[in-house]
Structure 1
Amino acid sequence: MAKTALKREELQEAFTMNCSAENTIPPSKLGVVIRSIGRAPTEAQLQSLCREFESKGVRALNCQQVEAIINKYGFLPETPDALREAFRIFDKDGNGLLNASELRHILCNLGEKLTDEEVDEMIREADLTGDGQINFEGKALFTSTITMFSCDYEYD
């Protein structure tokens, strides 16, 4: 699998946002951290890793372990076309905008569950104009999350 350079500062920031007081994450949060730095692991890859950790009795991962996992598997970055397609799935009006309240519902109820605080932060960072509408340009900070939902969700 092709590998791309991992930015340690980016990983540390993503890890810190998700870690416990012990500065670790449970294996179940691995996908959240990896996707938040723009990588696109499949659910099958994540489930396989979680099964492996479970079989070894691993209940927590530190940042160095997460970095080693990313370096080992690579997890290709998302392509602009994949991100655009994911955004399009949720843009039911086809106007290049997502309503923040609809996005909140999607992020809180589908795929990996996010807390209200996590969703608030994502929307605050992505709503570039403060009007409650997320345009494709403003999506950059949370496209990993949207992409993970687009695999199994068809928006009517």
Structure 2
Amino acid sequence: MVVCHSLPSELVTLFAAFDKDSDGRISPSELRVCMKTTLGEDVSAAEAEALVASVDADGDGLLDGDEFVRLVSAAEVMAEDERRRGLREAFGMYEMEGQGCITPTSLKRMLGRLGSEQGIDDCRAMICRFDLNGDGVLTFDEFIVMMNAS
């Protein structure tokens, strides 16, 4: 196996798993196989080639260690963007229309819709736990902190 010294240590094992022929490079076909077996993602040959091409700095149609790191980083950014969109959508369900925040009243209303009847004091206590600036409501950033804590 060719060892790629430029890879962060946490990615060495992952790179080796994708580099089936141990040549120090990952081909689009190796990428496809490993995405299916390790991540459960079924990508077409064209999609795998496009993924490789998106970070292939030297134009050889293969991923070296640095290019692999860029691909993993891009995937992490895309996953975080998707997660943030989902959180924004969830936040929108709880916030009071036009307020841009979750109030005890809007939290009580949404919990009631979800079948969990809570008193207004209980809702204030729930908000207080994650209300970082002490204004009695949850902003989107405070909501993210709350969701990361659970």
TM class by shorter chain equals 0.3 to 0.5
Bigger helix fraction: 2
Q: Please report the TM-score for the alignment, with normalisation by the length of structure 1.
A: 0.33
Greater relative contact order structure (CA < 8 Å, 6+ sep): 1
Between structure 1 and structure 2, the one with the greater Rg is 2
